[in-house]
Amino acid sequence: MWQFPKQIPGQAYSTTPLRGCPVAFGKTRFAACLGNKLVGLDWKGAGLEQIWECELGGHVPGSPTLGSDGLIRIHSGDGWLHCVDQEGGRVWEPVPVGEPLGWAAPIVDLNNLTYISGYAGGILRVGARGEFKNRPYFRTRQKFDSTGLIYRGLLYIGCEDAFLYAIAISEDEGRNSWDQLEDRGRTQWFINSAPALGNDSTIVVAGRDENLYGFHPDGRQAWKIHIPGQMLAAPVVAANGDVYVGVSLLRTGRRDQGKLICIDGDSHRVRWEYDARGPVESTPVIGDDQVVYFGDNAGIIHALRADGHCLWRQQVRSPVRSAGHIVGPNRLVFGLDNGTMVGLLCSSGGVSKKGWPKYLAR
């Protein structure tokens, strides 16, 4: 196991936890936001090498995003959207899009247009070369304090008004394609979790109302299951359609608890529950051998088989709230609340190519 950057005992690298997910490119290279920098790294053999860094204007609460053009978008805390290539060079001048929301990350479509959750509400759009009209692409006073996904020309994203939206993005202005008067996309409380795409094209999303939902492509509710506790992480979907989601159980006067729960992809009932050592706010990542990796707030990273059997645990001595990523063959990375990253060897050759296996899967 390595830790980056190396810590001086008793001194954190950053004043802010590392809760974003890195982006991977090449065979063993990846980039992550550390403090107010985007850092490029190469995990070759047993060692980790820093190959570049790019100064940003502030801490990044969300994750960097890799577009189909191979460029990395980052929304920093000073309100600018940055675009950086895989060598750490700036591609275009930073764009002033406003302060980021805490749960949101940029989303990039196949035309390399970037969608941003506006701090004052609505959705902003930035062109492939940094072009920006200083007005919302999709207008609403409601805030989309979550990360979305794009599928078949629609941006699916959760909102503070308890609806999952399906915003058509093929025109000059966004349009919600679901009729909210018919309760299309309705949950019972606000949504911070990123949605996932089910194997049957349902959109799976965790509400803050302690329910996990599946919605048909037309916005009708396909299924709902009550899961006691807060689902602060995003759900992921295995190759067979099963859904994994982390749960935090915070109870007054009792030790905080956490679970990873597996929902059967056919019956949409709980298949199994795995008790972690602490609350689970970490979005799991599924390997190509269907091993599931996630962290907990007790500072332990877990590796489970698809049947819920624990293969191993690793104590990392700091809460793990970040989404995990397999950045190369047998190379697993998580961010820690002490502002550092850890890398562990694992059995998976890469991220699963089926299902929706990680945060920002596509």
Residue 15 pLDDT greater than 90, yes or no: no
pLDDT of residue 14: 55
The model's pLDDT over 241-279, given as tens digits with 9 standing for 90+, comes to 999 999 999 877 778 899 999 999 999 999 999 999 999
Beta bridge partners of 42: 29, 49
**This prediction's pTM:** 0.95
Please tell me the predicted confidence (pLDDT) of residue 231: 96
Q: How confident is the model at residue 238 (pLDDT cuts 50, 70, 90)?
A: very high
The pLDDT tens digits of the residues spanning 305-342 come to 999 999 999 999 999 999 999 999 999 999 999 999 99
Which pLDDT tens digit goes with each residue over 194-221? 999 999 999 999 999 999 999 999 999 9
Higher model confidence: residue 256 or residue 290? 290
Mean pLDDT of 225-240: 96
In a domain, 217, yes or no: no
- pLDDT bin (cut points 50, 70, 90) of residue 230 is very high
- pLDDT of 135 above 70: yes
pLDDT, tens digit, 9 for 90 and up, residues 74-88: 999 999 999 999 999
Q: Give the mean model confidence (pLDDT) for residues 174-190.
A: 96
Rounded distance, CA 243 to CA 247, Å?
Answer: 13
Q: Answer left, alpha or beta for residue 253, where phi above 0 means left and psi between -120 and 50 means alpha.
A: left
* CATH number of the domain encompassing residue 360: 2.130.10.10
How many domains would you assign to the chain? 1
Q: Is residue 116 part of a domain?
A: no
Residue 27 counted as domain residue: no
> In three state form, how does the secondary structure of the chain look?
CEEECCCCCCCCCCCCCCCCCCEEECCCEEEEEECCEEEEEEEECCEEEEEEEEECCCCCCCCCEECCCCCEEEECCCCEEEEECCCCCEEEEEEECCCCCCCCCCEECCCCCEEEECCCCCEEEECCCCCECCCCCECCCCCCCCCCEEECCEEEEECCCCEEEEEECCCCCCEECCCHHHCCCECCCCCCCCCEECCCCCEEEECCCCEEEEECCCCCEEEEEECCCECCCCCEECCCCCEEEEEEECCCCCCCEEEEEEECCCCCCEEEEEECCCCCCCCCEEECCCCEEEECCCCEEEEECCCCCEEEEEECCCCCCCCCEEEECCEEEEECCCCCEEEEECCCCCECCCCECCCCCC
Q: Does 299 map to a domain? A: yes
The band of 96, judged by pLDDT with boundaries at 50, 70 and 90, is very high
- Which structural domain, as residue segments, surrounds residue 340? 1-22+230-362
pLDDT of residue 254: 78
Q: CA 170, CA 151: separation in Å to the nearest integer?
A: 12
- Asked if the model's pLDDT at residue 186 lies above 70, the reply is yes
Contacts of 150-153 with C-beta under 8 Å, sequence gap 24+, read 150/107, 150/109, 150/110, 150/115, 150/362, 151/197, 151/201, 151/203, 152/217
pLDDT reading at 37 higher than 90: yes
Place of tokens 């802010």: 16
265 within some domain: yes
Average of per-residue pLDDT across 149-174: 97
Prior bond of 228 cis (ω within 30°): no
Mean pLDDT across the chain? 94
User: 295 pLDDT exceeds 90?
Assistant: yes
Instruction: State residue 16's pLDDT score.
Output: 83
Binned at pLDDT 50, 70 and 90, residue 122 comes out as very high
Q: Provide the pLDDT for residue 362.
A: 64
Q: Does residue 262 lie in a domain region?
A: yes
Evaluate whether residue 291 is within a structural domain.
yes
Answer whether residue 90 shows pLDDT above 60. Answer: yes
Average pLDDT over residues 210-239: 97
Would residue 112 count as lying in a domain?
no
